[in-house]
Amino acid sequence: MKLIILGIQGSGKGTQGKLIAEKFDLKHISTGDLLRKETSSNSELGKEISSYIHAGNLVPDELINQLLQIHLPKENYLLDGYPRNLEQAKLLEKIASPNKVIYLELSEQEVFSRLEQRAECKSCKISYGLNNLPKAPGICNSCHKPLEKRKDDTHESIKKRIDLFNQETFPLLNFYKSRVIKINGEQSVEEVFHEIVNKLD
């Protein structure tokens, strides 16, 4: 099975991606995570990538496409954060065309409240927010380390990313047409997961 999970920022792609990949035994590839890993190496490339991410801009296609081709298997993947535009979607068609595209629908008002509340555990890669509050404020339920806010979850960067999503990524729904499975992303984590599993089956 080859799956893409698409949705506006804060719609729960990372959280659901992880759950779906576990359930169906797929390799979970998050291009945002791959890029953030590169930035933590402090290399020249990492610094360049950081400047795009912090400003809420997309990283250039040549760079992300190279990274994708290193990590993407030919089969059994769940891709989160890619494609972000038509050029990327066309490349993916050539290398390993997806069977289904899961689209998490969420209103823009909900995006702001979710992202401004979002905090994550860097070690466990668990994201917490209004729908998934940690048991102790600011502390990861699993490893008990302090949670951190993502550097790009500022009001300005969120607004920029919403505009980019609407202009560049939303039109992909028309590109994938009959492969798209629409999911109501405003439900709880468990309900969203249940709806995805039902519709995939």
Whose CA is closest to 40, among 53, 57, 59?
Answer: 53
Residue 63 C-beta: closest distance to ligand AMP, Å:
8
Burial of 62 (0-12, 13-18, 19+ CB in 10 A): exposed
Closest CB to ligand AMP among 55 and 136?
A: 55
State the minimum distance, in angstroms, from the CB of residue 152 to ligand AMP: 6
Helix and strand counts by DSSP (H, E) for the chain: 9, 7
Residue with CB nearest ligand AMP? 32
Beta strands in the chain (DSSP E): 2-7, 27-30, 77-80, 100-105, 119-121, 126-128, 180-184
Tokens describing residue 143: 């490893």
Cβ-based nearer residue to ligand AMP, 136 or 158: 158
Interacting residue ranges for ligand AMP, rule: CB under 6 A: 9, 31-32, 35, 52-53, 56-59, 64, 81-82, 84, 88, 152, 161
Please work out, in degrees rounded to the nearest 5, the angle formed at the alpha carbon of residue 170 by the alpha carbons of 164 and 175. 130
Q: CA-CA distances (angstroms) from residue 183 to 89, 143, 193?
A: 20, 31, 9
Cβ distance to ligand AMP smaller for residue 19 or 35: 35
Closest approach, Cβ 18 to ligand AMP, in A, equals: 13
CB closer to ligand AMP, 48 vs 186: 48
Q: How far is the CB of 136 from ligand AMP (least distance, A)?
A: 25
**CB closer to ligand AMP, 26 vs 157:** 157
- Residue 198: CB minimum distance to ligand AMP, A: 25
- Max Cα separation, the chain? 46
